Amino acid sequence: MLMSRYQTLLPGLLAALALSAPALAQTAAPAAAQTADEAKPFRLRDAIGAPAWLDVSGSVRLRYETLDNAFVAGRAGSDEMLATQTLLKVEAKGEQFAAGVELLDARRWVGNAGGASPAETDALEPIQLYAAWRPRHVFTDAGRLDLTLGRFTMDIGSRRLVARPVMRFLQQSFTGLRAVWSEADGPTVTAFYVAPVARLPSDAPSALDNEIALNTDADARFGGALFSLPLQGGLLAEAYAYDLDEDDSANAPSRNRDLATFGARLRRAPAAGRLDFELEAAAQTGMSRATASPADLIDLDHEAHMIHAEAGWSFAAPWSPRLALAYDEATGDRNPADGRNQRFDPLFGDRAFDLSPTGVYGAVARTNLRSPGIRLELKPDAMSDAYISLRRIDLDAPRDALANSNVRDASGASGRHAGDQLEGRWRRWIVKDSLRLIIAAAWMRRGGFLERAPNTTGEGDPLYGYAELGFSF
Ligand SMILES: [Ca+2]
Ligand SMILES: [Ca+2]
Ligand SMILES: [Ca+2]
């Protein structure tokens, strides 16, 4: 039944994309001739004549994803998903106080009834509902404070461990307190103490039916602090500590993680004609369990780490090319039977921006990974950008599972080479800062591990692609 719905809807989506192609061609040439006034994007707050103290903004995104040769254990054939994400945020701001609410509607319209799609939906949910105090001249003349209480989303530091996802339609929110003290072009101190929010409905069938149920706080406490300091020569230095302590709750069985994560980062941002780099390392210690099964009561000693290292060069040339080499490492569990767990936990981080697209693909995650890669980024003009990236995907621990695939060879006999991933994305504003088209693809040539592991799907090389049309207002 789903397949027949897909067959009627897909041509419509493709037609919409095809129709946008001429608009694309038109906007390319005269863009330079347009005055700033003509190019002004549609903004809801202007359209409804909102007063200056009221911010109103949002977006609607439509995405079709397709994956051939499923690689997640227990899946077969191909997966696909047609989904939408609608966001609407309203914030009332006074001199020092603000209050805001943001509604999310992440909905699956058509697709397969499994794989990663249930993790992408959350129908009609207030993901943010907060009050904030934002005084100036705090501690120093230039010091500003933002103290937020309620439910909110967070982007912290590199976004590798705590992030508001960009590609993922479902959003992770937190309930509690967050304080950010900062000086413009100076240091920033972020501290928070929150409960992560668990998506309801918690079961996959209800999620796939876009069932509306208000989310609830998980039985977990997540606290942390990050200190960030700009240095001479365009450098940024950061140090952070996060602590997560969770228990099982009725709606959210957990791996009972009790983890402290300590990390540091040094970055020099890309700029034309110079070398840029980024180094981040984090160590993780505490207790966790091997599975989220309520029957799993064995606490394992958790010791893990992750590394991201990257160096790039931006050429002062047409299309502003940037060529970068990167290496990502995150430990995996070395031995399933030793009472210890070395599998790094990426907490609430985003991975789409440096490892692989997520959605129904998500083949590479910041856990049990050793991955060197090369990446070329291009900006053909002010309206578009693109990148292409090639990575080798090795397991750090051959006896542990690949990413979130559950494909595993507990003996380690299938080796560590999961595959080689070729991935790229092209984005173009059809109307600048308003309507944007994204086309992306990933292909993984399977290595020995995905070919031979006992519970591999036995399908061919995974091939993934998506097309997205997004309207921001
Ligand atoms: Ca919900
Ligand atoms: Ca548990
Ligand atoms: Ca172990």
**Ligand nearest to C-alpha 410:** 3
Q: How far does the centroid of ligand 1 lie from the alpha carbon of residue 188, in Å?
A: 33
Closest among 266, 350, 337, 257 to 304, alpha carbons compared: 257
DSSP 8-class letter at 343 = -
Q: How far does the centroid of ligand 2 lie from the alpha carbon of residue 182, in Å?
A: 38
pLDDT at 283 over 50: yes
Q: How far does the centroid of ligand 1 lie from the alpha carbon of residue 215, in Å?
A: 5
Least reliable range by pLDDT among 23-37, 63-77, 99-113: 23-37
Q: How far does the centroid of ligand 2 lie from the alpha carbon of residue 201, in Å?
A: 19
Contact between 286 and 304 under an 8 Å Cβ cutoff? The reply is no
Q: How far does the centroid of ligand 1 lie from the alpha carbon of residue 174, in Å?
A: 14
Q: How far is CA 160 from CA 180, 200, 346, 347, 414, in A?
A: 19, 25, 7, 9, 29
Least reliable range by pLDDT among 8-17, 117-126, 152-161, 335-344: 8-17
In this prediction, what percent of the chain has a pLDDT beyond 70? 92
Q: How far does the centroid of ligand 3 lie from the alpha carbon of residue 413, in Å?
A: 17
Q: How far does the centroid of ligand 2 lie from the alpha carbon of residue 257, in Å?
A: 9
The count of C-alpha atoms lying within 13 angstroms of the C-alpha of 80, restricted to the half-sphere facing its C-beta, is 19
How would residue 252 be classed by pLDDT, with cut points 50, 70 and 90?
confident
Contact between 89 and 101 under an 8 Å Cβ cutoff? The reply is yes
pLDDT digits (tens, 9 = 90+) for 183-241: 999 999 999 999 999 999 999 999 999 999 999 999 999 999 999 999 998 999 999 99
Q: How far does the centroid of ligand 3 lie from the alpha carbon of residue 421, in Å?
A: 28
User: CB under 8 Å to 397, separation ≥6 — which residues?
Assistant: 331, 332, 333, 334, 342, 343, 368, 416
Q: How far does the centroid of ligand 1 lie from the alpha carbon of residue 23, in Å?
A: 37
pLDDT at 32 over 50: no
Ion ligand 3 — residues with CB < 5 Å: 333, 335, 338, 340
Q: How far does the centroid of ligand 1 lie from the alpha carbon of residue 238, in Å?
A: 34
**Ligand nearest to C-alpha 299:** 2
Q: How far does the centroid of ligand 2 lie from the alpha carbon of residue 295, in Å?
A: 7
Least reliable range by pLDDT among 174-183, 242-251, 351-360, 424-433: 242-251
Measured CA to CA, the distance from residue 170 to residue 207 in angstroms comes to 11
Measured CA to CA, the distance from residue 267 to residue 270 in angstroms comes to 9
Token duo for residue 156: 């912290």
Measured CA to CA, the distance from residue 142 to residue 182 in angstroms comes to 8
Q: How far does the centroid of ligand 3 lie from the alpha carbon of residue 94, in Å?
A: 53
Q: In terms of pLDDT, which residue wins out, 32 or 402?
A: 402
* pLDDT (0 to 100) of residue 38: 58
Q: How far does the centroid of ligand 1 lie from the alpha carbon of residue 179, in Å?
A: 26
**Ligand nearest to C-alpha 212:** 1
pLDDT at 260 over 90: yes
Q: How far does the centroid of ligand 2 lie from the alpha carbon of residue 363, in Å?
A: 25
Q: How far does the centroid of ligand 2 lie from the alpha carbon of residue 250, in Å?
A: 10
Residue linked to tokens 């950008």: 385
Burial 351-360 (b: 16+ CB within 10 A, else e): bbebbbbbbb
**Ligand nearest to C-alpha 105:** 1
**Ligand nearest to C-alpha 201:** 1
pLDDT digits (tens, 9 = 90+) for 80-124: 999 999 999 999 999 999 999 999 999 999 998 777 889 999 999
pLDDT at 33 over 70: no
Q: How far does the centroid of ligand 2 lie from the alpha carbon of residue 245, in Å?
A: 12
* pLDDT (0 to 100) of residue 28: 43
**Ligand nearest to C-alpha 368:** 3
CA angle 191, 308, 221 (to 5 degrees): 30
Q: What average pLDDT does the structure give for the chain? A: 92
DSSP strands (E only) in 168-270? 174-182, 188-198, 216-217, 220-231, 235-246, 258-268
Determine the average pLDDT of the residues in 120-148. Answer: 97
Q: How far does the centroid of ligand 1 lie from the alpha carbon of residue 377, in Å?
A: 37
Determine the average pLDDT of the residues in 265-289. Answer: 97
* pLDDT (0 to 100) of residue 253: 87
Token duo for residue 180: 């950010």
DSSP strands (E only) in 79-219? 79-93, 97-111, 122-133, 144-152, 174-182, 188-198, 216-217
Q: How far does the centroid of ligand 2 lie from the alpha carbon of residue 247, in Å?
A: 7
Q: How far does the centroid of ligand 3 lie from the alpha carbon of residue 400, in Å?
A: 9
* pLDDT (0 to 100) of residue 113: 79
pLDDT digits (tens, 9 = 90+) for 313-341: 999 999 999 999 999 999 999 999 999 99
pLDDT digits (tens, 9 = 90+) for 372-430: 999 999 999 999 999 999 999 999 999 999 999 999 999 999 999 999 999 999 999 99
- Count CB neighbours of 284 within 10 A: 28
Measured CA to CA, the distance from residue 328 to residue 279 in angstroms comes to 10
**Ligand nearest to C-alpha 342:** 3
- pTM recorded for the entire structure: 0.91
Q: How far does the centroid of ligand 2 lie from the alpha carbon of residue 208, in Å?
A: 24
Q: How far does the centroid of ligand 3 lie from the alpha carbon of residue 290, in Å?
A: 8
**Ligand nearest to C-alpha 248:** 2
* pLDDT (0 to 100) of residue 40: 86
* pLDDT (0 to 100) of residue 250: 77
Measured CA to CA, the distance from residue 189 to residue 179 in angstroms comes to 8
Residue linked to tokens 């290595």: 447
Q: In terms of pLDDT, which residue wins out, 25 or 415?
A: 415
pLDDT at 72 over 70: yes
pLDDT at 30 over 70: no
Measured CA to CA, the distance from residue 35 to residue 37 in angstroms comes to 5
